[in-house]
Structure 1
């Protein structure tokens, strides 16, 4: 094995509260760890060398020369995975009613649970620009941030607001895409859903020719387009005009050969958001499931999730989600569709719809991994959805998604093997993002 000597290694040691930028200090070495890159066999007794924000080398422990002055992390019995990436994350805490504000702080809090990158597929222009600026430096104490800006929809949509592009003609669609391109968005999101799976009644849909114009102009501008389309017929319509992925799984019917063919033709990704469907189906039960991890992480006060477990609070929420019985009856369909899509060779990417009420900050990402395994994926396949597949979705696979020399040092060090039990992703010893170490309980506290 080739011997590696690194003359200068820099670790950004944690010196201020989350939200600031950290200052490089001294080398860091993770010794005798088991490295887990989903899709490859685990590598035991390895050493990871970090300088600045990037990994310098990954090699056998007995083939590595430790640089003078390095900070040594003894990783015996530890397992290292790439930082988790949640590709449907709105940065709210999931409260009911929604509590505005705090999204920049929440972007920092995510590091406590090993989430080092998020993609927000519907966020206002000002918030998008603010979070992009805050998270841009590698040394920032925030998860890496990508997003679409506001979602394309139609007048009358339950979730539309004054910032939402609502084009009525192809020309208006093209202009709206150009506007978001100028903002610097990473992709475009469109709504193709009548919301009947959660709310009684039928919503208005964007004319298909307008949707097609959004997709065409986005592709001209070098932007991918992702669709909110959890109903099979409407998802096929979105795919027929070239969208690049679905931001929710299909909940109403089993996916068929036509659907799978369209997904593969488009090279589209499938973001199941099983957490969202579990939440809509039984908000109180899903709140209780998340509460165990929530209490451990201490990201928000228990008062945030308490109303969901309370009978009166749950009834209030269910009065809004007044067709939740539809989703509850079809949870098995949503779960089975994940495996069908995966077995067909379509990339499955982890996303939760965190921020929707009842889908809680940070912990929902951990639970989504469990739900993917319960749907039939192996722990390694679930981790792949949360790492390299996610990185490819946003075009960042050269920098993120695996533990390799040259990539960002975004790592989660675990006390137990996630391949033996995916629930071990909560057994966090340390989180490293961009070479900076963070505590697993409160990212404001240095170890």
Structure 2
């Protein structure tokens, strides 16, 4: 992947590799991209012969040929025969997690080989590798909906980094769980919600740090006392002007979250069909729904690789996956004798078929019902979990959502406008409109015919800076 800016006075391309311009700042530049079929992300009809002007990182004009006056200093790009959409948003990911079990010792403990404190420190110190993976995959904004408190700091760091997507981050999660193997003495991912005071103080602290959202991970709806603690914390979230995020996988949990004003549900309701009460509550709240269809299957694929049954299938023709992650997944079979991988479990893994077994039908049905009811849906992968890799997993998630009966045209909106709105940045990006950031992708194939055509990515623009995807291009 090559990061480059255009120097207009010389009329030439100056290539800057990601590794050699760690502190480079983008040149002020103006682009005029013409001739492409443009989808602006709003759901409006595509512009078949478009022009878009981006000056100093912002969209100055967009419309049909002739609608925009091309500045004299603009670098003109003929995109005839190509397609443009806004940059995509992965509305559910985790910078704290690696895509393998070294980042989730609760799922399989490999801390003898990969001590978790070392893994956590590396994650904190090296976010750029994931920035690169996301941009390479056409993703110009990400929402980290749960992790160490340092992830909140990435919001400002990424905003000022010309080689990074926009970041929103929630930080540590409130949960009934007393702790987890991925907590550290000096920093926790999970905060045990054990009193009203704990909830209020956690909300106040994370909001003061600048968190975008406060997430509740699992909700114990069987305990009236715990539900009271959640409600008190939710009221504090409203006072702080923040938003409630909920990991709620049952209808009962999801309804309780909606009763308390949840603005983002980050997983499918997967136990029963959603009912009319759920739909009305979600619409009244203005809640966004993220189905995360592929993450459970990702775990199974990671376990299969660790058991030396078959490698994790990876479709990465542009080389978007970072080197360390590649090393992890290609050496997964070293754990084939791990005690977690019992013979009974291995038999289950051998019979698991990705196409046939993911996800459960109820998740597909609920997604379609929720979308058809008018509730905004976002695209989020839960990347960082074992088998769900940063960046490239968005294509699998989009294809799974299309299989659920969502049209490609609607998926474009879900992956752009809706995602940006869910991370409270809809005024800044997510659609190709005047005044917003110049965040867009250029495709060789029509994404409105088949969402798999999002894979035909040739270029990404982030904050007005153009990236050519694939080192061979």
Shorter-chain TM-score range: 0.7 to 0.9
Match of 2:59 among 51, 55, 60: 55
Kept after mapping to 2: 8 A contact 1:84/1:387? yes
Deviation at 1:292, TM superposition (A): 4.3
Distance 1:156 1:175, change over 3 A: closer
C-alpha contact (below 8 Å) 1:13/1:25 kept by paired residues: no
Equivalent residue for 2:272? 253
- Local SS of the residue matching 1:408: coil
* Separation (CA, whole Å) in 2 of partners of 1:403 and 1:295: 27
Corresponding residue number in structure 2 for 1:147:
169
Cross-structure match for 1:173:
199
Alignment-derived partner of residue 189 in structure 1: 215
* Preserved contact between residue 193 and residue 205 of structure 1 (Cα < 8 Å): no
What SS does the aligned partner of 2:101 have?
Answer: coil
* Mapping for residues 301-316 of structure 1, pairs under 5 Å: 301=323, 302-306=326-330, 312=336, 316=340
Partner of 2:108: none
1:114 to 138, 147, 150: 138
Give the count of matched residue pairs. 426
Give the distance between the partners of 1:328 and 1:311, measured in 2 at CA.
Answer: 24
Are 2:356 and 1:351 aligned? no
The answer for the alignment partner of 1:97 in structure 2 is: 102
Match for residue 404 of structure 1 among 429, 433, 455 = 433
Q: By how many angstroms is 1:237 displaced?
A: 2.2
Which of 26, 30, 33 is the matching residue for 1:30? 33
After superposition, where does 1:71-82 map in structure 2 within 5 Å? 71-82=75-86
How much does 1:238 deviate?
Answer: 2.1
Q: TM-score, normalised by structure 1?
A: 0.85
What is the aligned counterpart of 2:245 among 226, 229, 234?
226
Q: Give the TM-score, by structure 2 length.
A: 0.80
Question: Which residue among 91, 96, 103 is the counterpart of 1:87?
Answer: 91
Structure 1 position 73, deviation (Å): 1.2
- Residues 254 and 375 (structure 1 numbering): CA distance in 2 closer, same or farther, change over 3 Å? same
- Give the distance between the partners of 1:355 and 1:239, measured in 2 at CA: 26
Return closer, same or farther for 1:149/1:310 CA change in 2, 3 Å cut-off: same
Give the distance between the partners of 1:320 and 1:122, measured in 2 at CA: 33
CA distance in structure 2 between the aligned counterparts of 1:135 and 1:320, rounded to whole angstroms: 45
Q: Using the TM superposition, name which of 332-341 and 433-442 deviates more.
A: 433-442
Match of 1:434 in 2: 463
* 2:438–2:463 Cα contact (<8 Å) kept: yes
Shift of 1:183: 0.5
Indicate if the aligned counterparts of 2:170 and 2:211 stay in contact, CA closer than 8 A.
yes
Query: Residue by residue, what CA displacement relative to the aligned partner does 1:320-375 show, whole Å, maximum 9, x if unpaired?
Result: 999999x9586111111110111111111111100011101111112111111111
**CA-CA distance at 1:239 after TM superposition:** 2.1
Asked if structure 1 preserves the Cα contact closer than 8 Å seen for 2:162 and 2:465, the reply is no
C-alpha displacement of 1:151: 0.9
Gaps of 5+ in 1: 1-7, 195-201
The reply on whether 1:125 has 2:126 as its aligned counterpart is no
Decide which moves more: 215-224 or 101-110.
101-110
For residue 67 of structure 1, the aligned residue among 62, 68, 71 is: 71
Compared with structure 1, are the counterparts of its residues 52 and 344 closer, same or farther at alpha carbon in structure 2 (3 Å cutoff)?
same
CA 1:35 to 1:257, structure 2 compared with 1: closer, same or farther past 3 Å? Answer: same
Task: Please give the per-residue CA displacement for 1:216-237, whole angstroms capped at 9, x wherever unaligned.
Answer: 0001100010101112222222
Instruction: Work out the CA distance in 1 between the residues paired with 2:182 and 2:222.
Output: 12
- Which digits, 9 at most, give the CA deviation of each residue in 1:37-58, with x for residues without a partner? 2411110111111111101001
| Cα separation, partners in 2 of 1:281 and 1:291, compared to 1, 3 Å | closer
Q: Is the 8 A contact 2:169 2:213 kept in 1?
A: yes
Partners of 1:127 and 1:359 lie apart in 2 by 19
**CA RMSD in angstroms, aligned pairs only:** 3.5
Partner SS, residue 143 of structure 2: strand
1:318–1:430 CA distance, 2 compared to 1 (3 A): farther
1:273 aligns with 2:292: yes
